[in-house]
């Protein structure tokens, strides 16, 4: 044990670029660092989009085919067979709008929730701000959402021209609605990501929970179809005002309440703050438990 170089305190203590300590500050998103890694964010998003259709014959067309097929199935099953009401709206439009929004939310949520598990091999070898991965999920799904929504607008355009449905002024809320979905999906996902690393049970619970949440949201039915007695039971769901406002803006049916939107906004921000706290804590040592 002779020549261990004991660090001397006399040496200048300045100019350390990197300081690794057991605990980091909890509520910081370290946005500066995220900004330095913005190229990585871009490349992750690009990877997700490009690899989605690599080695397929139809290529990027799949982005259109998928929602079209889902919509046709919904029209057939829920519209024709089950005969669920669509508030008098054309069924294709009704379901396509619901599906686009729901897919965006649920993809952000479930992909983020298992982000540590899915990327364990990558996270186990290199450091980069972990928040980049959930952000890339949100952005690459935003791209898919945009495509699905363009599809929706094309079909809606036909109905506008025929004069069967009309745009409302509430359509201006659209960017806010998308933002709520993104922040809520990201927040809930990060909240669960912490738990799925340690307790795998959460992953199963999550699958079931997301399905349940879909039926508790007006994706395949309009909110007006819920019996008045039961409506308070659904009031907690921050997704309801979003779906309702989206349908009101683009298709002119449904209801928009400023209170409901405000609740959704506050709920999303609250979840996001709490989840940031947890995510920061977990990202530093999750490798030991995953």
Partner 1 sequence: MTAAIRFENVSKQYRLGEVGTGTLSHDLHRAWAKLRGKPDPFALVGSVNDRAQKGGEYVWALKDISFDVKQGEILGVIGRNGAGKSTLLKLLSRVTAPTAGRIRARGRIASLLEVGTGFHPELTGRENIYLNGAILGMQRPEIARQLDAIIDFSGCAKYIDTPVKRYSSGMMVRLGFAVAAHLECEILVVDEVLAVGDAEFQKRCIAKMQSVSSGAGKTVLFVSHNMGAMANLCTRAVVLDQGALAIVESPQNAIRFYHDSSPLYQSPKDLIALQLDSELKFRSVSLDSSDGSVDKIGFRSKVNLKFEYFLEVEIVGLELAVAIYGVNGNRVFTSERSMCFDHPVSVGLSEATVSIPAETLVPGHYTVELAASVPNSRIVQILKEVFRFEIVDDGYHFSRYKDVDVGCVYVRCDWHEQAGQVS
Among 10, 27, 32, 51, binds partner 1 (CB under 8 A): 51
8 Å CB contact between 133 and 44:
yes
Among 126, 172, 230, 259, binds partner 1 (CB under 8 A): 126
Footprint of partner 1 on 178-237 (CB under 8 A): 198-200
Among 59, 60, 88, 124, binds partner 1 (CB under 8 A): 124
CA atoms of 190 and 279, how far apart (whole Å):
6
Q: Per CB under 8 A, which region of 88-96, 121-129, 154-162, 247-255 contacts partner 1?
A: 121-129
Q: Least distance from C-beta 286 to partner 1, angstroms?
A: 8
Place of tokens 């983020």: 112
Among 128, 160, 234, 263, binds partner 1 (CB under 8 A): 128
Size of the site for partner 1 (CB under 8 A): 47
Footprint of partner 1 on 56-115 (CB under 8 A): none
How many other β-carbons are positioned within 10 Å of the β-carbon of residue 108? 27
How many other β-carbons are positioned within 10 Å of the β-carbon of residue 157? 10
Total residue length of the chain: 290
For partner 1, which is the closer residue by CB, 91 or 114?
Answer: 114
Q: Per CB under 8 A, which region of 67-75, 123-131, 179-187, 204-212 contacts partner 1?
A: 123-131
Q: Least distance from C-beta 27 to partner 1, angstroms?
A: 17
To 10 degrees, what angle do helices 91-113 and 174-198 make?
40
For partner 1, which is the closer residue by CB, 87 or 118?
Answer: 118
CA 58 to each of CA 46, 49, 54, 63, 144: distance values in angstroms, whole numbers, following the listed order? 18, 14, 10, 10, 16
Tokens matching residue 140: 């690459």
Contacts of 236 (CB under 8 A, 6+ apart): none
Is 274 a residue that touches partner 1 (CB under 8 A)? no
Binding mask 12-31 for partner 1 (x = CB under 8 A): x--xxxxxxxxxx-------
Q: Least distance from C-beta 41 to partner 1, angstroms?
A: 9
How many other β-carbons are positioned within 10 Å of the β-carbon of residue 246? 25
Q: Least distance from C-beta 194 to partner 1, angstroms?
A: 12
Residue 59 DSSP symbol: G
Tokens matching residue 168: 């409302």
Q: Least distance from C-beta 122 to partner 1, angstroms?
A: 5
Among 25, 57, 127, 163, binds partner 1 (CB under 8 A): 127
8 Å CB contact between 264 and 183:
no
CA atoms of 181 and 105, how far apart (whole Å):
5
Residues that bind partner 1 (CB under 8 A): 1-7, 11-12, 15-24, 36-37, 39-40, 42-44, 47, 50-51, 54-55, 121-128, 198-200, 284-285, 287-289
């Amino acid at each position: 044990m002779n020549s261990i170089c004991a660090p001397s305190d006399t040496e200048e203590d300045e100019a350390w670029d990197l300081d690794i300590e057991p605990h980091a500050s909890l509520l910081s998103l370290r946005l500066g660092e995220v900004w330095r890694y913005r190229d990585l964010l871009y490349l992750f998003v690009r990877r997700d989009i490009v690899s989605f259709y690599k080695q397929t014959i139809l290529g990027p067309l799949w982005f259109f085919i998928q929602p079209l097929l889902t919509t046709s199935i919904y029209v057939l099953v829920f519209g024709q067979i089950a005969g669920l009401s669509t508030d008098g709206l054309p069924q294709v439009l009704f379901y396509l709008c619901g599906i686009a929004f729901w897919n965006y939310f649920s993809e952000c949520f479930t992909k983020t929730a298992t982000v540590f598990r899915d990327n364990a091999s990558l996270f186990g070898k290199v450091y980069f701000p972990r928040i980049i991965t959930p952000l890339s999920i949100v952005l690459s799904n935003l791209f898919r959402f945009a495509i699905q929504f363009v599809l929706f607008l094309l079909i809606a355009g036909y109905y506008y021209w025929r004069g069967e449905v009309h745009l409302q002024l509430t359509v201006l809320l659209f960017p806010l609605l998308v933002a709520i979905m993104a922040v809520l999906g990201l927040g809930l996902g990060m909240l669960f990501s912490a738990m799925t690393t340690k307790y795998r049970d959460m992953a199963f619970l999550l699958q079931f929970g997301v399905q349940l949440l879909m039926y508790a949201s007006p994706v395949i039915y309009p909110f007006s179809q819920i019996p008045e007695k039961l409506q308070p039971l659904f009031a907690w769901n921050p997704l309801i005002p979003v779906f309702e406002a989206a349908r009101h803006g683009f298709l002119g049916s449904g209801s928009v309440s400023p209170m409901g939107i405000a609740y959704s906004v506050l709920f999303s921000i609250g979840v996001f703050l709490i989840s940031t706290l947890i995510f920061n804590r977990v990202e530093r040592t999750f490798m030991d438990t995953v």
